[in-house]
Amino acid sequence: MEEIVLINYRLYLLLFFALLLFIAFRLLSWLLPAILKREEKRKMVHRYKTLTELVIWIIYFIWAVQYLHYTNKAYALALLVLLFLFTLYTLWIGLKDLIAGAFMKAAHRLSISEIIKVGEFSGKIIRFGHANIILETDDGEIIYLPYSYIFGKALIKSQPAEAIHRHTFRLIMPLSRSIRHDIEKMRIFILNIPWISLKKEPQIRTMEETGQGFEIEITIFSIGKEHFLEIEKLVRAKFEIPDIDEDQQNKETKYIQ
């Protein structure tokens, strides 16, 4: 009977100390703004407060296991199992972003200054952290996205608008019963050319009908200017009337960066 009373006494004492510890942490959180006047110190303390509290709780549980070990090994073992599960959960919270980051970096070839969209968030990559990727939005806001949030979601890469160039040229298409159908075929053909930007579709306009066919003005968009002439040759070879006058073939061509 005395042993049971002793065990209950030790359990109540542990619960009492745990309650005191909990109240002390809550009071400290409430008093910190009044104690620390400088904003920088408050931010620094707030940054490490949660981690410090976690470490103290782990130390308390380890002491509680040792405290109960000599009186009731069953209680001590149960508390040890709880401590082990709690430690595993804490490690998982800390390591899941590192693990997800390793897999994500292997699956997606991302680099600084690329623009990406994940879920409802989008922005330019400015840094790769250990546990998160840091984006800057068009409004200048900074977004910290945990790798575990990104992993498994659709990741969309966008081309920055300032990197897209345009090239405009004209050609003569044969007379057709359905010029709209031919223009749609041209649009699909252009979009399947490797160097074409998919962010901005080609602009195709019918200018006028000539004796040989329809004069078409085409504006294409690409992330680089070095392939414009090659793209133009591909489009001409596919859709332009063969054997037209050289002067007509070299009609007005504009390059706009």
Specify the pairing of strand 132-136 against strand 142-146. antiparallel
pTM above 0.85, yes or no: no
Q: Which pLDDT belongs to residue 233?
A: 92
Long-range contacts at 58-65 (CB < 8 A, ≥ 24 apart): 58/83, 58/86, 58/87, 60/17, 60/18, 60/21, 61/86, 64/14
Q: Where are the alpha helices (DSSP H) in the chain?
A: 2-35, 39-69, 73-107, 147-150, 179-191, 228-239, 246-249
Q: What is the CATH number of domain 161-256?
A: 3.30.70.100
What does the CA dihedral 167, 173, 179, 181 come to, rounded to 10 degrees?
Answer: -70
Q: For residue 90, what are the CA distances in angstroms to 11, 96, 229?
A: 25, 10, 58
pLDDT digit string, tens, across residues 71-104: 666 666 776 777 777 777 766 776 777 777 777 7
| pLDDT beneath 70: ranges in the chain | 1-10, 46-47, 69-76, 79, 90-91, 94, 159-163, 177, 243-257
- Burial of 236 per CB tally in 10 Å (0-12, 13-18, 19+): middle
Q: Does domain 115-158 have CATH number 2.30.30?
A: yes
